[in-house]
Amino acid sequence: MIIPYAGIIAALLIVILYNTVKILKEYERGVIFFLGRFQKVKGPGLIILIPGIQKMTKVDLRVIVLDVPTQDVISRDNVSVKVNAVIYFRIVDPEKAVIRVANVFEATSQLSQTTLRSVLGQHELDDMLAERDKLNEDIQNLLDKRTDNWGIKVANVEIKHVDLDESMIRAIAQQAEAERARRAKVINAEAEKQAAQMLADAAKMLASEEQALQLRYLQTLKEIANERTNTIVFPLPLELVGPILKMANASKS
């Protein structure tokens, strides 16, 4: 009869020890309740509890990666897109995370979905595609403010995909092609403008310096002489043609 009683006592001791002694890892904290009232936050290391009087809720302080499901978003320019994202957050106040919200992970997930739709709905489609870093920062700041009362710190938000239908993809491709054509025309116009300005400056310089004009004339003759042609046209400087024309006009009169 002694052995059964010893077994029962040993089992009771094991149960008591299991409910009394707790070991928390470095990244864990324990929120202690004394007769249902919050007492303190303990950990890491060895924690001693009074069975039946003290209760402990374990909290993980590591960064948690939350995948936000795909959301249907209507942009400010009335374009329907599907957007999903990923949220990185961690618990910085275990007391708030346990006492002020029933399920901190579910609450953060639902809030992330509504915030994603709200923020992206205020922007046009071009902003979603071109200014993703700014949108990530706006969503992160808004989530961080709203979850502060839950003891949560939102570290980062990343929009992963912005999915469009086929018709919208074709429209964007046509718009991009038209923009490239416009830029090409602008570049060609700027090149023509610069070339015309440089020719005008060169003409002014040659007109103001007679020696430069003569050197250019000799250079032109040299280039013509190098051409393989049967007919060579020698350009005459205006300084030679002018007196000849004046003499011809004087003889006629």
Query: Distance between CA 87 and CA 145 in Å, rounded?
Result: 14
How many domains is the chain built from? 3
Q: Are residues 81 and 156 in the same domain?
A: yes
Residue 115 and residue 87 in contact, taking contact as beta carbons nearer than 8 Å: no
Q: Are residues 75 and 50 in the same domain?
A: no
**Where among 120, 143, 164 does a domain terminate?**
164
Residue 194 and residue 188 in contact, taking contact as beta carbons nearer than 8 Å: no
Q: Are residues 89 and 152 in the same domain?
A: yes
Cα dist from 189 to 76, 182, 193, whole Å: 35, 11, 6
**Where among 133, 164, 195 does a domain terminate?**
164
Query: Distance between CA 116 and CA 135 in Å, rounded?
Result: 9
Q: Are residues 144 and 234 in the same domain?
A: no
Q: Can you give the residue range of the structural domain that contains 20?
A: 2-59
Q: Are residues 72 and 123 in the same domain?
A: yes
Q: Are residues 24 and 51 in the same domain?
A: yes
**Where among 130, 164, 198 does a domain terminate?**
164
Q: Are residues 85 and 49 in the same domain?
A: no
What CATH number corresponds to the domain at position 146?
3.30.479.30
Residue 20 and residue 50 in contact, taking contact as beta carbons nearer than 8 Å: yes
Residue 95 and residue 151 in contact, taking contact as beta carbons nearer than 8 Å: yes
Structure tokens at 17: 């020890």
Edge-to-edge strands, sheet with 152-163: 64-74, 80-91, 152-163
Q: Are residues 20 and 75 in the same domain?
A: no
Q: Are residues 68 and 159 in the same domain?
A: yes
Summarised one tens digit per residue, pLDDT across range 29-77 is 999 999 999 999 998 999 999 888 999 999 999 999 999 999 999 888 8
Summarised one tens digit per residue, pLDDT across range 77-131 is 888 889 999 999 999 999 999 999 999 999 999 999 999 999 999 988 888 888 8
Question: Could you tell me the sign of the dihedral formed by the alpha carbons of 111, 117, 123, 128, in that order?
Answer: positive
